[in-house]
Structure 1
Amino acid sequence: MSAQTSNYHRRVAEQKRTAIVGAATALFLESGYDRTSLAKVADLAGVSKATLFKQFPTKAALFEAIVAESWNTDGTTEIHPAPGDLRKGLTSIGHGYVELLTRPGMTDLFRIVIAEVPRFPELGQTQFDLGKMPYFNSVRRYLDAEREAGAAELDDAELAATQFLGMISNYVFWPRLLLVHWSPDDNTVTRVVDEAVAMMVSRYGRDAPPDPRGR
């Protein structure tokens, strides 16, 4: 098989995978996890059952793929800034986190989990283990690196990461679950991130560069 043919088949497989994940997300949200069959997903995605089962042999495997894809930064959200400048690093992480939380489908994913977790607690565990925790741990490791570099003074990087991400998500993301039209403008989002960074630097920063906004 030529490289060109191989690349073509890879693209087709990826397109089908994207269609399957999109169809599953829509059906899980509309009908619930329990009432959605893989056969219905295949029909909506426009693929054969054999194609779907080849990629996702179980509904749980399909949900895992949805979670992993939703939280995959894929290099688009910087969560590994170089240590040495706490304000700059947290600003980069903060805006990356906003971009992640406001992706199309992220709110839908949380709605699916919240609706179904009483009957299917494994969905919540999947969301926690494959989605939230890998991202959270990357932020915690960054804060530990800042401490080791002497740019931050903290004893509990896990608590600090929780505080920082919580200050952002509590305004940018969680209201979306209840308020359909919640969509802060860019200036408001930037202010939310800047204020969260300022509070973190004030609490944990050591010999931090001055705030460029004069604070």
Structure 2
Amino acid sequence: MTRPSAYHQRVAEEKRALIVRAATELFLESGYDRASLARVAERAGVSKATLFKQFPTKAALFDAIVITSWAETGVADMPPAGDLAAGLTVLGRRYATLVTQPEMTDLFRIVIAELPRFPELAKAHFSQGKLPYFESVRSYLVTERDAGTAAIADPELAATQFLGMISNYLLWPALVLPGWTVTPARTTAVVDEAVRTMVARYGA
């Protein structure tokens, strides 16, 4: 079978991005239930055949929104163990960038709005988005504990505490307070304080 050329791959990726963005907008405007795949195709400027080829169901399309929103995290690039403050700073800044992107705010709004009628959306968001990222932070804390540079009895709780300190300032207010903005300097300060707190509590 002939593999698609680089050009055709790029075009397919561009169309996929248009579809995901259009779906996100329609889910926010009309609700997940009322936003049909046909309307998504029209908003994205692609044919229904093109959309159905990539996303045969609305659930598959929502999964793509989740994966796209969480994709820019660089989870595979785990900081090396040996310096708890340095490693947490890398992870914290990465997480801050992630939760402050508009796509992430939109995703949370869709999940919250549709939770009563479509709890499977929240499950998809958790299992395909948040959980893998959370697991990467938990695994990093385990490596620091095993290296003797952190005294952490419950890495799962510690990871929750660390990410919570960041998202509680950068993400959650943006969901409920119109016009909530955080300057880059403030974002850096939020991450740095979270790191200091973790090192003070768990540094060996």
Alpha-carbon RMSD = 1.6
- Give the CA deviation at 1:39: 0.3
What residue identity is the alignment partner of 2:102?
A: P
| Structure 1 match to 2:41 | 42
- Superposed displacement of residue 176, structure 1: 0.1
| 2:131 corresponds to | 133
Code of the aligned partner of 2:9: R
Superposition pairs for residues 1-215 of structure 1, below 5 Å? 6-73=5-72, 75=74, 80-206=78-204
The Cα shift of 1:2 comes to 8.7
Structure 1 residues 18 and 93, CA gap change in structure 2 (3 angstroms): same
Alpha-carbon distance in structure 1 between the residues aligned to 2:125 and 2:2:
39
1:79, 1:96 within 8 Å by CA — same for their partners in 2?
no
Percent sequence identity over matched residues? 64
8 Å CA contact retained: 2:73, 2:94: no
Larger Rg: 1
**Residue aligning to 1:212:** none
Secondary structure, counterpart of 2:72 in structure 1 = coil
User: Structure 2: any 5+ residue segments left out of the alignment?
Assistant: none
CA displacement 1:132-174 (0-9 Å, x = unmatched): 0000000000000000011000110000000000001000110
Q: Which runs of 5+ in 1 are unaligned?
A: 207-215
Indicate the SS of the match to 1:82: coil
Note the alpha carbon deviations across 1:100-134, whole angstroms, 9 max, x for none. 00112110110000000100000000000001000
Deviates more, 1:26-35 or 1:171-180: 171-180
Structure number having the greater helix percentage: 2
C-alpha separation in 2, matches of 1:98 and 1:86: 18
3-state secondary structure, aligned to 1:187: helix
Structure 1 segments of 4+ aligned residues over 2 angstroms from their partners: none
Q: CA deviation at 1:189?
A: 1.4
TM-score, normalisation: structure 2: 0.96
Which stretch of the first structure deviates more once superposed, 21-30 or 187-196? Answer: 187-196
**TM-score, structure 1 normalization:** 0.91
